[in-house]
Amino acid sequence: MENYSRTKALFISVSVDCVILGFDGKSLKMLLMSRKGKEENSDYNDFKFPGSIIYANEDLDLAAERAVKEITGLKNIKLQQFKSFGSPDRTSNPRDTRWLENATRQKVGRIVTVGYITLIKMNQVVGTFSKEYDVKWFDVTDETVKLAFDHTLILSEALKEIRRQVTYNPVIIFDLLPKKFTARDLRMAYSTLFSKNYDVRNFYKKFIEGEKYIIALEEKERNVTHRAARYFRFDRKAYTKKHSVVR
Amino acid sequence: MENYSRTKALFISVSVDCVILGFDGKSLKMLLMSRKGKEENSDYNDFKFPGSIIYANEDLDLAAERAVKEITGLKNIKLQQFKSFGSPDRTSNPRDTRWLENATRQKVGRIVTVGYITLIKMNQVVGTFSKEYDVKWFDVTDETVKLAFDHTLILSEALKEIRRQVTYNPVIIFDLLPKKFTARDLRMAYSTLFSKNYDVRNFYKKFIEGEKYIIALEEKERNVTHRAARYFRFDRKAYTKKHSVVR
C-alpha cells in the first residue's frame, strides 16, 4: 500500500453540475443560471450550469435532482451522469472561489464535480422556471455567454457525449422534440446538434422513410405561411424492438 | 444561493477505481488486487479493483493511470471514465474504513470514487504484473470472490456500460481479442459478455460474414486437436468508415 501514503489529506468538495439541453425548432439551447458578483473595480455577470455542492447524506444522483429542482423548478427530470471533472485548477479563478465561498459560507478548496445531462422538450417547460434563481435558455453556440469555472469544458464534453449517443442510439434525439414533430423539426435537430446541413431529400430518405419507428400522422401543421407539413411521432415500442440491447 | 448554505462542510475524499477486463477465450476476466487484514477474531482476504485516493495536484485521469501503473505494472492502458459512485454508505463497512485509514495514514470519511474501465488483450500482458501488489485475474462471474467497498456495484455498472457500448459500437470487443482470432473466439467473447449462447451458424452470418471490417486471413490454427479454424483480423479503417460518428 506504499503508494497510498504519498496521498496528501485534501480539503476537497464534491459538486454536481447539470447540463440541461433543449431545442426550439431552430437551435440547441442550454439552461443557465445567472451569477452576479462584485470585483475590485467592477461588477460582473456571468453564467453557470445549475449545480450544487453535495450535502452530507446525499448520493450524487439525489444532489443533482435537488439542485435542478431548487434552481430551475423543474421536477422529475431524467438526469444522466456523463462525466466527472477534477482538474486541480478548476477553481484557479479567484472570482469562482470567492463566489462559491460566499454562496456556501464555507472555505472552498479543490472541487471535483460530477456532470449530469438531460434533454428536455422545451414546449413542456414554458413558464415553469423557479422565480428564486435567474435561469434562462441560451444558444449553446452563443459566444457572448461567459461560463464560470470550467463549464465551457463541461459543455463541450456534454455535447460530445450526446452526439455519440445519438449516433449510435438515435432514440434520445426525440427527447428534444415535441410529441408531434415535422420532418423539418427532426432535420433541424440533427443539423443543430451536429452543426451540419442535411440535404432535405436525403435526410428524409435516411432518417424518416427508412425508419419504422417514425410514424406519419394524418394531422398537418396549421396556420403556417408555408405549405403545411405532415406531423410524425416517435414509436418507442417499434424502436426498442429494432435496437434491443442484448443482441 | 440560499440552498447552498444548507451544505455541510464535508470531510470527503475522492478516489479512482479501475475495472480492467480481459478475455481468455472462454470467459470474461477482471483484474483484482488482494486485500489482507486483521479483525478482532480473524484475518480476512478479499479483493478490490486497482485504485487510489487522488493526490493533491492530480487530475482524475492521471490518478487512474498512476494507480493502474503502480498496482498492476501495466503501462499505456487506455482508461475510460464511465461512472462516479458517491453513496454516503460506500464506507459504512468498518473493515473498509479501517483498511483505508491504515493504508493512507489519514482519517477517512466519506469517499466519492470515479470509476474507470478498460478492455485489454490478456495475451499481451502475461507476466507483466508488478510484484509489489498481489494482482490476479478472476472470472467476473466468480461468486467466491468477495469484493471490498461497493466494488460489486462498480463491476455490475461497468459490465452494463460495456454491453451498451458493444451493442451500439462493436469495435471495443476487439480490444479483448488477440490480433488474430477465430470465429469461435469472437462468438465466445459475445457469449461471455452477454451471458448468452449463440447458434454457431447464425452468429457467423450476423457478426462475421455480414461485417466488412472482419477480414479472413490465409492462416489457420496450428497444433489443435479439433479441425483447425481460420483466423480473422479486425480492420479498424473499414470499421471507422462504416461507423463514422458524425452522420
Partner-chain residue, chosen from A84, A102, A196, that has the shortest CB–CB distance to B84: A84
Which residues from chain A sit within 8 angstroms of residue B107, using beta carbons? 9
- What letters, b where the CB count within 10 A reaches 16 and e where it falls short, cover A99-131? bbeebbebebebbbbbbbbbbbebeebeeebee
Sequence-separated (6 or more) residues with CB below 8 Å from residue A189: A23, A173, A176, A177
Partner-chain residue, chosen from A52, A56, A59, that has the shortest CB–CB distance to B3: A52
Q: How near does any CA of chain A get to the CA of B30, in Å? A: 20
Interface mutation target, options B14, B99, B160, chain A, most CBs of A under 10 Å: B14
CATH topology of domain B12-167: Nucleoside Triphosphate Pyrophosphohydrolase (3.90.79)
- Mean pLDDT (10-residue bins), chain A, 247 residues: 48 92 96 88 90 91 95 92 95 88 83 96 84 92 94 97 90 94 96 95 91 93 91 91 55
pTM of the model: 0.91
- How confident is the model over B199-221, as a mean pLDDT? 92
Which residue in B48, B45, B41 sits closest to B16, CA to CA? B48
Instruction: Judge whether residue B20 has pLDDT over 90.
Output: yes
* Amino acid A239: pLDDT: 86
* Amino acid B139: pLDDT: 97
Instruction: Judge whether residue B6 has pLDDT over 70.
Output: no
* Amino acid B8: pLDDT: 53
pLDDT-above-90 percentage for chain B:
64
Sequence-separated (6 or more) residues with CB below 8 Å from residue A82: A19, A115, A116, A117, A157, A158, A161
* Amino acid B91: pLDDT: 86
pLDDT tens figures, B131-187: 888 999 999 999 999 999 999 999 999 999 999 999 888 889 999 999 999 999 999
Instruction: Kindly determine whether residue B86 and residue A13, on different chains, have CB atoms separated by under 8 Å.
Output: no
**Cell numbers that stand for B27 in this block:** 470467459
Interface mutation target, options A66, A79, A104, A173, chain B, most CBs of B under 10 Å: A104
All CATH 3.90.79.10 domain ranges of chain A, comma separated, are: 12-167
Which has the minimum average pLDDT: A75-79, B26-30, B228-232?
Answer: A75-79
- A42 has which bridge partners? A39
* Phi, psi values for residue B105, rounded to 5°: 50, 45
- CB contact at 8 A, B119 and B19: no
Architecture of B179-243 per CATH? Orthogonal Bundle (1.10)
- How confident is the model over B91-118, as a mean pLDDT? 89
The pLDDT mean for chain B works out to 89
**B247: confidence class by pLDDT, cuts 50, 70, 90:** very low
Distance CA B234, CA B239 (A): 8
Instruction: Judge whether residue B125 has pLDDT over 90.
Output: no
Q: Strands A42-48, B12-23: parallel, antiparallel or unpaired by DSSP?
A: unpaired
All CATH 1.10.10.10 domain ranges of chain A, comma separated, are: 179-243
Partner-chain residue, chosen from B56, B167, B168, that has the shortest CB–CB distance to A10: B56
pLDDT tens figures, B35-89: 988 887 888 889 999 999 998 889 999 999 999 999 999 988 999 999 999 999 9
